[in-house]
Amino acid sequence: RHVADFQLSIASIIESSSSDCLAQDLHLQAQQLAGRLKCDSVVSAISAGPGTVNFTINRELLAKTVLQQVWKDGSEYGVKSELFSTVPRQKAVIEFSSPNIAKKFHIGHLRSTIVGNFIANLKVALGHEVVRINYLGDWGMQFGLLGVGFQSFGNKEKLKSSPLQHLFEVYVQINKAAEDEDTKKLAKDFFRKLEEHDEQTLSIWKQFRDLSIEEYIRIYKRLGVHFDEYSGESFYQEKAQEVLKMLEDKGLLQKTIKGTGIVDLSEKKDLSTVSTVMRSDGTSLYITRQFLIISFRDLAAAIDRMNKHSWDTMIYVTDKSQSNHFQHLFQILKLMGYDWAERCQHVSFGLVQGMKTRRGEVIFLEDVLNEVRSRMLQNMTSTKTTKEIQDPVETAEKVGLAALIIQDFRGLLSSDYQFSWDRALQSRGDTGVFLQYTHARLHSLEQMHGNAELTDVNVACLQEPDAISVLQHLLRYDEVLYRSSQDLQPKHIVSYLLTLSHLAAVAHKTLPVKGSAPDVAQARLCLFHAARSVLANGMKLLGITPVTQM
């Protein structure tokens, strides 16, 4: 069945209101208009449909234009489109991942990591400058407990070899004793010394932080993620005091009867919406973002980043339970006179239920990566073609990660979803495994028949409907990138790539390269090369490394 490339609705261009116009009138007008329009070198056919005029683009021109463009722009295909010509190049600061040292790296941190990485990749691809910040939970009373715990249960060798796991174990152990008055007092003393910059205490804390970051860097590398800056709450002790003074000087800080510090955010200044910023004992609140408590550190961090990076936009990537926190944070910054608060954005995401490893609950990011790798390896080993792969473990990890990312990115980010290993790792259907499989298949096709050369392609050989479907889809890639760049949702790119893979799979069946006449084989090879190139570009934006063997 022939599908037109463009369609014009008659109702949208005639003067009278649509209620006056009967369907048969519209159809008649469509036929009359179609009869008066002439084809040219671009438009090869014009026909009337029910109330529409349909245009078909010259098939050879379509094939030639798309293939040349993909070939010429390579990894920048779609990004160089005129859709982006009026978009100013900007500097963006993106805060994402942000786990707490010595605590669980839960599934929310994983989502923040892959979503933040996608947004950063997309912005960089579109020519923006990006600063990726990991804002660690590296300060607070828990370090008093951790310090005391390490003195009792710590092991220096274990701290060096697996810091994240060891600090977590120590923290769990000391927490059992945390109700004990002596322990409480020791923890308070330890943290007080930290705040007073006692050298010995600080060096213990610094070791916890440095070794944790070293291990995080190694694990993030497996995910294909990097950061330009490892910041943290510890950076903003002194600056938080300056923010407190600014709030007082501007008359924004009010005290309740109990002595708690609040900022009035209500329209009528009647305290109907307040944000608590200070405990009654005068201490700055540590971040407990769930409870609408804005710590001076968050304010200080935002101001500091503006001074340091003078960004055009700052994006925080966290789960949606923190939406109110960020709304209040931006409002207070605006009350303090920082108009750039309007250029701050919170990209929120929903909750994931049911992600467990074979050993139980997810505690460390590495648990998830190891689990996905071993499950994928098992699936690959049970299929008969896997034996020839050079590095099956590496491949299993890349394919498994693609599965995780696609399952996470298929819907709206703000929606909650139920995680399923079986569904994520299926080789058929709309999964990351299917994308990887398609990429590997197209790659081996090129390996088998030598690389395609665009110079001598006879585009008249690409007139079959299945070839045209692939070409039409490739033509739309820039629109999809544009949509994702507007709302920062990866789902547009995901559904585009899944459709591309399905269309390429059909074309692979119906348009064989092997056994075809040389110019037909060459043209088809070129088509499959273009499909693989765009598929790889899109996968990389999502944070997936395309595999060449599977």
> Does residue 238 sit in the same domain as residue 211?
no
What residues make up the domain containing 477? 63-87+426-542
How many C-beta atoms surround the C-beta of residue 453 within 10 A?
12
Please identify which of the residues 109, 439, 473, 492 carries the catalytic annotation: 109
Residue 361 lies in a domain: no
Q: Is 473 assigned a catalytic role? A: no
Model pTM score: 0.91
Is 22 buried (19+), middle (13-18) or exposed (0-12) by CB count in 10 A? exposed
The residue out of 349, 364, 390 marking a domain boundary is 349
Closest CA to 348 of 108, 88, 528: 108
> Does residue 454 sit in the same domain as residue 528?
yes
> Does residue 306 sit in the same domain as residue 158?
no
> Does residue 111 sit in the same domain as residue 155?
no
Which tokens is 262 given? 């609040």
Q: Is 103 assigned a catalytic role? A: yes
> Does residue 25 sit in the same domain as residue 77?
no
Per-residue model confidence (pLDDT) at position 385: 61
Please identify which of the residues 104, 106, 166, 325 carries the catalytic annotation: 106
Give strand ranges (E) for 329-415.
344-349, 352-353, 356-357, 360-361
Structural domains in the chain (count): 4
The residue out of 322, 349, 376 marking a domain boundary is 349
Per-residue model confidence (pLDDT) at position 177: 82
Per-residue model confidence (pLDDT) at position 294: 62
The CATH number linked to 129 is: 3.40.50.620
> Does residue 132 sit in the same domain as residue 146?
no
List Cβ neighbours of 275 (8 Å cut-off, separation of 6 or more).
262, 263, 265, 292, 293, 294, 328, 331, 332
Per-residue model confidence (pLDDT) at position 493: 98
Per-residue model confidence (pLDDT) at position 4: 82
Please identify which of the residues 64, 91, 103, 188 carries the catalytic annotation: 103
Give whole-number Cα distances, 193 to 141, 162, 240, 378, in Å: 12, 26, 18, 51
List Cβ neighbours of 39 (8 Å cut-off, separation of 6 or more).
45, 46
> Does residue 77 sit in the same domain as residue 98?
no
Per-residue model confidence (pLDDT) at position 104: 85
List Cβ neighbours of 87 (8 Å cut-off, separation of 6 or more).
126, 485
> Does residue 97 sit in the same domain as residue 121?
yes
- Relative to beta strand 356-357, strand 313-319 is unpaired
- The helix (H) or strand (E) run that includes residue 314 is strand 313-319
Residue 264 lies in a domain: no
The residue out of 14, 41, 57 marking a domain boundary is 57
Task: List the chain residues with pLDDT less than 50.
Answer: 283, 285-292
> Does residue 120 sit in the same domain as residue 155?
no
Burial code of 85-99, b = ≥16 C-beta within 10 A, e = fewer?
eeeeeeebbbbbbbb
Per-residue model confidence (pLDDT) at position 221: 95
- CA dist 378 and 81 (Å) reads 42
Residue 398 lies in a domain: no
Residue 73 lies in a domain: yes
> Does residue 533 sit in the same domain as residue 481?
yes
The CATH number linked to 76 is: 1.10.730.10
Residue 514 lies in a domain: yes
Which tokens is 419 given? 């995680």
Residue 383 lies in a domain: no
Give whole-number Cα distances, 476 to 63, 497, 500, in Å: 13, 11, 11
Residue 181 lies in a domain: yes
> Does residue 128 sit in the same domain as residue 234?
yes
Is 30 buried (19+), middle (13-18) or exposed (0-12) by CB count in 10 A? buried
Residue 313 lies in a domain: yes
> Does residue 51 sit in the same domain as residue 105?
no
